[in-house]
Chains A and B, each alone.
Chain A
Amino acid sequence: MALFKRLAETERPTLTFTLDGQPATGLLGDTLLTAVLTCAEHLRGSDFSAERRAGFCLMGACQDCWVRLEDGRRVRACSTLLEDGQAIRRDPGRQA
């Protein structure tokens, strides 16, 4: 199930990516956060209880939307635009 719901700007070109290895699609101009949360329910696991998180502030302040790209880079999903063919991985988080 998706968390976010698209209300406008749905006529944009489709981009494909993978989320934890599974094929998924987003739209040109989506942030990674939008692309993931319009087809899934979370972005990462928290650092001390592996609780699901899906971002919070969307303006680069809360640091709770980090995802991993294929090259190992960790990026803020809210402020990174989706590129075609990206492989996005969600960190499962850790239990204290």
Chain B
Amino acid sequence: MKTVVIVGAGPAGITAARTLLDHGVTPVLVDESLRGGGQIYRRQPANFQRSAKQLYGFEAGKATLLHRTLDELATLVDYRPETLVWNAENGRLDMLNNGHAESIEYAQIIVATGATDRILPVPGWTLPGVYSLGAAQIALKYQGCAIGERVAFCGSGPLLYLVAYQYAKAGAKVVAVLDSAPFSAQCRALPALLGQPATLAKGLYYRAWLTAHGIPVHQGATLSHIDGEQRVTGIHWDQQEIACDAVAFAHALRSETQLADLLGCEFAWNALNRAWLPQRDAAGRSSVAGVYLAGDGAGIMGADAAQMAGERAALALLEDTGIAIDPRRPAVLEQQLASIQRFRHGLETAFPFPENWAAEAPDELILCRCEEVSVGEVRAVVDEGHWEVNRVKAHCRVGMGRCQGRMCGLAAAEIIAERSGREIQNVGRLRGQAPIKPLPFGVEVQP
């Protein structure tokens, strides 16, 4: 049998590797990070002492189990940490490991590339002291640090309350939580959220805990701008302001889809994620034979779903290879995934996308932090008659910088759609390019 590669050692990739190994297939497991685990279950460096309970709270058991699985796999599969897959072409992956380039031919691949925060920029967002919600969580979980002395948490989504709670619990001063979603939206979402009562209970617990500890939580409050010259000094919303030296903000998550794009997967507009996503069937098969998709990289569903999808995709790969699996297992997994998907609809109602963001964004707002392209510059290109996102990128370099539109691409599409009077799904999809991330000069290439 030819090589099976899994890209990403988070909940989806680890579970996929375990499942393949249990059926006699030894995969190559490639991960960009040093210690694996993904982002939500990211592991602290080996010499840190905090317990899993301190790091992962209610999820400590799941995190510990996942890490133990990865530790076992590390000796049994071809595990390659600190390795970036930066290109995919003709059945071959190009990778970079500690400055060394290598390639690998694969017969089948499971793409489990995860997600990053979904960012809707506000004036001042490039100042030192402003981070994504995920970043704020990583600073604490991975490094034992707060992003500042007095921290404000803004935006929306489940991560907002979770990270604010984790900060306050760890002894940081949380000056305010601004949730752009109104309370009424969360009430409307209750019926769908009740489908996953444990998850709902955790969310309510974080909120209640913050209020009980005197931390101001403002609902229906939209961050309008961040003050500061050399670093953050305060935030503004709805004629209110508060002094702080750090801000964490995001509106939920976005999928990392570049690799699926380079692998040739067909994409379709996904209204729930408000994003273009690689198409997949209920098992995780993409439009390309031998390419499977699992976890948040194929649509945001969270860590529990990622584990199930990782297992389901691995089972699909095994089925397609002619290896016998438990015939009852796929249906069980697919039912569980469907249930989480219903919950996800509830979350989208509870934390709705702020549809007025694009109309209200000021012209001088820096949209693309790499190339320093303003909202006004993007609007000017649209006013010249351009409305397709790749075309607009070619004209003003929005999304063309080092991050390849990871931070600004979705926001740029919103600005283009609003200005051109088109629906967001009708302004095109920012294409992925190799190298997926910047490569250093002087890479040693194997002959």
Whether the Cβ atoms of B129 and A61 lie closer than 8 Å is no
Whether the Cβ atoms of B34 and A55 lie closer than 8 Å is no
Give per-residue flags for B139-157: 1 if the beta carbon is below 8 A from chain A beta carbons, else 0: 1101111111100000000
Residue of A with least CB distance to B228: A52
Whether the Cβ atoms of A56 and B144 lie closer than 8 Å is no
Q: What's the Cα separation between A72 and B16 when bound, in Å?
A: 39
Whether the Cβ atoms of B370 and A60 lie closer than 8 Å is no
Residue of A with least CB distance to B397: A48
Q: What's the Cα separation between A9 and B141 when bound, in Å?
A: 11
Give per-residue flags for A26-51: 1 if the beta carbon is below 8 A from chain B beta carbons, else 0: 00111100100110011000111101
Whether the Cβ atoms of A62 and B407 lie closer than 8 Å is yes
Closest CB in chain A relative to B231 CB, distance in Å: 5
Whether the Cβ atoms of B50 and A41 lie closer than 8 Å is no
Is B437's beta carbon under 8 Å from chain A?
yes
Residues of B within 8 A of A47 (CB): 370-372, 401
Is B171's beta carbon under 8 Å from chain A?
yes
Is B39's beta carbon under 8 Å from chain A?
yes
Also in contact, A59 and B372, with CB within 8 A (given A7-B171, A9-B49, A9-B50):
no
Also in contact, A61 and B406, with CB within 8 A (given A4-B139, A9-B50, A53-B126):
yes
Also in contact, A51 and B170, with CB within 8 A (given A34-B143, A46-B372, A64-B403):
no
Whether the Cβ atoms of A9 and B370 lie closer than 8 Å is no
Give per-residue flags for B168-189: 1 if the beta carbon is below 8 A from chain A beta carbons, else 0: 0011100000000000000000
CB contacts between A and B, total, < 8 Å: 146
Whether the Cβ atoms of B146 and A58 lie closer than 8 Å is no
Is B307's beta carbon under 8 Å from chain A?
no
Also in contact, A64 and B148, with CB within 8 A (given A3-B129, A56-B135):
no
Q: What's the Cα separation between A49 and B129 when bound, in Å?
A: 18
Whether the Cβ atoms of B440 and A58 lie closer than 8 Å is no
Closest CB in chain A relative to B114 CB, distance in Å: 9
Closest CB in chain B relative to A49 CB, distance in Å: 6
Residue of B with least CB distance to A58: B135
Whether the Cβ atoms of B230 and A52 lie closer than 8 Å is yes
Q: What's the Cα separation between A30 and B39 when bound, in Å?
A: 17
Which of B116, B144, B171, B369 has its CB near the most chain A CB atoms (within 10 A)? Answer: B144
Is B414's beta carbon under 8 Å from chain A?
no
Also in contact, A56 and B131, with CB within 8 A (given A41-B231, A81-B34):
yes
Also in contact, A62 and B128, with CB within 8 A (given A3-B147, A4-B148, A5-B145):
no
Residue of B with least CB distance to A75: B440
Interface residues on B, range: 35 or more
Q: What's the Cα separation between A12 and B149 when bound, in Å?
A: 21
Q: What's the Cα separation between A61 and B256 when bound, in Å?
A: 9
Give per-residue flags for B42-79: 1 if the beta carbon is below 8 A from chain A beta carbons, else 0: 00111111100010000000000000000000000000
Whether the Cβ atoms of B172 and A7 lie closer than 8 Å is yes
Also in contact, A56 and B369, with CB within 8 A (given A7-B140, A29-B45, A63-B403):
yes
Whether the Cβ atoms of A62 and B134 lie closer than 8 Å is no
Residue of B with least CB distance to A80: B34
Closest CB in chain A relative to B297 CB, distance in Å: 12
Whether the Cβ atoms of B50 and A61 lie closer than 8 Å is no
Partner of A57 from the list B45, B117, B370 (CB cut-off 8 Å) is B117
Q: What's the Cα separation between A29 and B256 when bound, in Å?
A: 27
Is B402's beta carbon under 8 Å from chain A?
yes
Residues of B within 8 A of A5 (CB): 145-146, 148-149, 172
Is B33's beta carbon under 8 Å from chain A?
yes
Whether the Cβ atoms of B135 and A57 lie closer than 8 Å is yes
Closest CB in chain A relative to B296 CB, distance in Å: 12
Q: What's the Cα separation between A70 and B129 when bound, in Å?
A: 26
Also in contact, A29 and B48, with CB within 8 A (given A54-B129, A60-B32):
yes
Q: What's the Cα separation between A28 and B46 when bound, in Å?
A: 10
Residues of A within 8 A of B402 (CB): 63-64
Closest CB in chain A relative to B283 CB, distance in Å: 28
Whether the Cβ atoms of B34 and A59 lie closer than 8 Å is no
Is B257's beta carbon under 8 Å from chain A?
no
Q: What's the Cα separation between A63 and B407 when bound, in Å?
A: 10
Residue of A with least CB distance to B408: A62
Closest CB in chain B relative to A24 CB, distance in Å: 16
Residues of B within 8 A of A22 (CB): none
- 7 further interface pairs, Cβ-Cβ under 8 Å (given A7-B140, A56-B131, A59-B135): A6-B144, A7-B146, A8-B144, A9-B50, A31-B143, A54-B231, A96-B372
- 5 CB contacts below 8 A, A to B, read A7-B170, A8-B54, A9-B50, A59-B135, A79-B34
3 closest cross-chain pairs (CB), A and B: A54-B128, A9-B144, A63-B402
